[in-house]
Structure 1
């Protein structure tokens, strides 16, 4: 937990600089692939994901260490070759987990967030799930377990394997010659994120593309079929927490409404997108049929709302940086504090992304978040030990909570008036 937090303190600024760098490069080249609100939504998803991971809010049904202890046939030495084996094993496992996430209704809920952006850029790589409570990933590491690859090697290689999947989420790199035959390139991954009929459910590879070629899921990017990004049932929100549970909510409602007891149970393991016939007829869900004429989700946003959204996400980045850098000391103060802090982060993201959606209830979530923050300050007289850095910090944090409440209220009132004016004109 603490070690991962320290790693993220280095990784987060690097990823943010690369995302902003891609935005500037796109503007310079006259090929902008980043929209501001979508980028903030993507970054916010990344915030919720790393917060969840650092707090350890998931359970491994089968741990890799258990597999090694029970099933290892040999034990390879801890050498450079061991790390190569571990990397290949992780990539093999990643291919199959990724493929299953796409192919089964229940598992798709864990992956929908990653495909929810209707743009394709480095920021969307950060859209990662918070909805996975029970992890089954380790079972696909069976080849490494049989060879007795030490768990510590997997623990070291896994973050590197994950971070290596960031770079190819871009439209600014064309096909890469002979590398197209070996590794996953931006061209391959553009296909994977596309909703064109020719591209759906292709190119599951994470680092190496030959898994797709071996297992029949490979598709080349076609010059006459420009990829269109997103999901066929668009999410229509900037709120990453809502997106994470949107598909699960639909499955629960469909299972409840269908009159067939067989369908109530099999809906979970049917192919992704399958719905009971009686429910699909009575409760239709919008689905994109003509991908080349789809309208991307967007909301009317003033310059001031764009600026305020950046202020909010910057504040959350500062809050989680403090959390990741001080997990051990916060845990010493009270073991429950890090989970209260995590709740605060999630409420923050929920509140400002609701405002980005122009949802009038954004003020309710903002009040809940800020009341929690002020309650922490009043109860402890501090912000999780920040007084050790400066006694002034708690007053700055308190002032932010008050200011944030009034600014959000102002935006909600402004949006309400604008929407009423549109209704009157119509």
Structure 2
């Protein structure tokens, strides 16, 4: 099968990202919404460049692993028009479960927390990406490789999904037409995802299609004004601290906990906030408390 040479879409989009951030700053000031916090935006942009740089390294690892599993594929799906439709839905389904797991398992939250660490919500927030996640989160897409999608096809669709998710990080767009809100992820849906309001916690994990959240009961509409950030904010603009703070806290919990080795391992596999002695506060408990009121 002849594989076309496809450029790295994220790298080509960098100038577009920077231009649109500047445009949003101007529009934000013009309509007199909360002004950009430039230190926060600067941290997000630095995190984004760091993610791109490390992606040059991790992509080699990911492609090597994907090519290995491709040798054990069940089918061979060709590079034709209908396969791109299939990979669109299949990749988005995998992304939903990756994203949902990133909120439900601390091992994955340790890298994903970076994206939620800003207390602002704008296009620069979309650029605040992990420096560690790309080295292991790719495992969620291995089933597509085994199914028979070529690694290049999967990697391209992952890039398309990330590009789509860029524009939904804004408060300048409110509600879109009902049919669009019903099917696709939108700024309104994603504002909920970034919010710390109890009813919004761990909701709307969509990539491009919001249908998975509706199907698996993790959808929540935007009603109350979102409060952005983390349940416990880290309050720093230092990119190094943003990138690795949760990893440090995770290993501190593992090392300092006076419990059995199996329980120590649970710190990686249980939700963020879990403690072996039951003293931790989980986001689902905060949501349940809100529902009782």
1:112–1:47 distance in 2 versus 1, CA, 3 Å: same
Aligned residue number for residue 57 of structure 2: 55
Aligned residue number for residue 175 of structure 2: 175
1:58–1:258 distance in 2 versus 1, CA, 3 Å: farther
- 1:288-299 equivalent positions in 2, closer than 5 A: none
Give how far 1:156 is off. Answer: 2.9
Aligned residue number for residue 110 of structure 1: 111
Q: Are residue 99 (structure 1) and residue 100 (structure 2) matched?
A: yes
1:148-183 deviations in Å (ceiling 9; x for gaps): 222232233332222111000001111112101100
Alpha-carbon distance in structure 2 between the residues aligned to 1:39 and 1:187? 20
Secondary structure at the aligned position of 2:71 is classed as: helix
1:33–1:217 distance in 2 versus 1, CA, 3 Å: farther
Alpha-carbon distance in structure 2 between the residues aligned to 1:192 and 1:244? 20
Contact 1:170-1:186 within 8 A present in 2 as well: yes
1:58–1:215 distance in 2 versus 1, CA, 3 Å: farther
* Runs of 4+ deviating beyond 4 Å: 3-9
Looking at CA atoms only, which structure, 1 or 2, has the larger radius of gyration?
1
Aligned residue number for residue 256 of structure 1: 255
Aligned residue number for residue 211 of structure 1: 212
Alpha-carbon distance in structure 2 between the residues aligned to 1:226 and 1:133? 32
| Structure 1 runs not aligned, ≥5 long | 290-426
Aligned residue number for residue 195 of structure 1: 196
Give how far 1:263 is off. Answer: 3.2
Aligned residue number for residue 291 of structure 2: none
Aligned residue number for residue 157 of structure 1: 157
Contact 1:116-1:235 within 8 A present in 2 as well: yes
Secondary structure at the aligned position of 1:63 is classed as: helix
1:281-303 deviations in Å (ceiling 9; x for gaps): xxx9xxxx9xxxxxxxxxxxxxx
Alpha-carbon distance in structure 1 between the residues aligned to 2:29 and 2:137? 42
Aligned residue number for residue 40 of structure 1: 42
Give how far 1:107 is off. Answer: 1.3
Alpha-carbon distance in structure 2 between the residues aligned to 1:259 and 1:130? 30
Q: Are residue 266 (structure 1) and residue 288 (structure 2) matched?
A: no
| Structure 2 runs not aligned, ≥5 long | 287-293
Alpha-carbon distance in structure 1 between the residues aligned to 2:139 and 2:265? 26
Aligned residue number for residue 239 of structure 2: 240
TM-score scaled to structure 2, two decimals?
0.86
Secondary structure at the aligned position of 2:69 is classed as: helix
Secondary structure at the aligned position of 2:228 is classed as: coil
1:75–1:52 distance in 2 versus 1, CA, 3 Å: same
Give how far 1:82 is off. Answer: 1.2
RMSD (CA atoms): 2.6
Secondary structure at the aligned position of 2:172 is classed as: coil
Alpha-carbon distance in structure 1 between the residues aligned to 2:134 and 2:181? 35
Alpha-carbon distance in structure 1 between the residues aligned to 2:6 and 2:39? 28
1:139–1:121 distance in 2 versus 1, CA, 3 Å: closer
Alpha-carbon distance in structure 2 between the residues aligned to 1:133 and 1:203? 21
Contact 1:115-1:231 within 8 A present in 2 as well: yes
Secondary structure at the aligned position of 1:259 is classed as: coil
Alpha-carbon distance in structure 2 between the residues aligned to 1:49 and 1:97? 18
